[in-house]
Structure formats: C-alpha cells, structure tokens
Amino acid sequence: MPHQTDLDTRKGLSDELLYLLRQHPRDVWQGHPNLGGMARFWLERHNGFRQLGGVLEDALSRFREGEIEPAAFGGFFAPRLQHFLSELHHHHMIEDQHYFPVFMAAETRLTRGFEVLEGDHEAIHERIEQVIASANGLLGHLKGTDRDATRRAADSYAGDSGRLIGGLMRHLDDEEDLIVPLILERGEGPLGIG
C-alpha cells in the first residue's frame, strides 16, 4: 500500500510562503506586464498536464463503464499515457535542475516552499512508477478473455492513477502560487529566466 504524503493531505502552501501571492493574486496574472514568455509557456505546460490528465481519466472511466471496447481503449490510451508520463518526468527534471535553484537564490524566504515542491516531485515520480506497473498490467489484460481479471486490473490502475493525478493537481496549483507571484514581483529578465 502506498504511503500517504503531505501531497495527499494539504490544501495549499502555508500562509507564510504565500506572501507574494497575496500581493499578486491569480486574477491579475494574465494582464501583468511581468508575465513574460517563459512564464506563459510554463503555465501552458501545466494546463496541458491538467487537460491530458483529464482525458486519460475520462477514457478510463468510459472503458470501465463498458463504453469503449478493450482494443480501442488500448490504442487510444497507451500512447497518450506514455506521452503524459514522459513529458511530466522531463518537466520536473528541468524545474529541479534549472528553475528551482534560480528561484531559491532570488528569494531565500521561499526556500521551504521549493523544498516542499521538490518533495512533491519525488512522490510524483514514485507514483509514476506505480502507474507504469499497473498500466502495463491493465494493457496486458486487454487482449485476454478473463473479464474479471481485466476489471481488477482496471480498478488497480484507477487507484494508482487517481493518486498520481490528484497529487499532481495539488502540486501544480501550489507550484504556480509560489512561482508566478515571484516572477511578477521581479520580472523574468532580472531573475535570469527570460
């Protein structure tokens, strides 16, 4: 049984880490002059993860309800899941190796927040491994004739996927709440990310 992490229970980052968000709330982000090309691209990537996660969850739900035949489900699902997981892994590597160190150096009061986000990345990576294992189990059952085994494999995958997607959604929101206000406060050029 996977262990529960802060990612499963928290409702957002602590107030002490969100002092810049109070100065730059979400409703002013899109019109802010310091929201540059890098930040816009990064937010689009996050929205892409949200959308593709929803597409995958919807396809799984429709398959489990019998609305999609196994072969059609496998053909639709497998390449999209592979793309989702590989892009997510790559995205987190870039954040951990490049952007987080820049942001921590720029605003040391946010260091604890970036440590939380890095911990999220570790938890999400573990969940990706679980999802890969259970997805392979499910895909392996799609050509079989044992409907109960296929249903159990789908249920197992649904649990692992739900934990991954749920944690990822919490993480994306918290990451944006920490980083975008910092970018709006300082500007991409002065931060060295423009």
169, part of any domain:
yes
Mean pLDDT by 10 residues, the chain (194 residues): 70 95 97 96 97 98 96 97 96 95 96 95 96 97 92 97 96 98 96 89
- Give the CATH number, domain containing residue 99: 1.20.120
Determine contact, residues 82/135, Cβ cutoff 8 Å: no
Query: With the CA atoms of 66, 71, 73 and 78 taken in that order, what torsion angle do they form, in degrees rounded to the nearest 10?
Result: 150
Determine contact, residues 186/20, Cβ cutoff 8 Å: no
Closest CA to 168 of 121, 133, 126: 121
Is pTM beyond 0.75? Reply is yes
165, part of any domain:
yes
13, part of any domain:
yes
**pLDDT for position 4:** 53
Place of tokens 């679980």: 130
d(CA 7, CA 4): 8
**pLDDT for position 5:** 61
180, part of any domain:
yes
Number of separate domains in the chain: 1
1, part of any domain:
no
90 alpha carbon, distance to own chain's centre: 12
The 10 Å Cβ neighbour count of residue 101 is 12
Domain that holds residue 143: 6-191
**pLDDT for position 143:** 87
**pLDDT for position 144:** 86
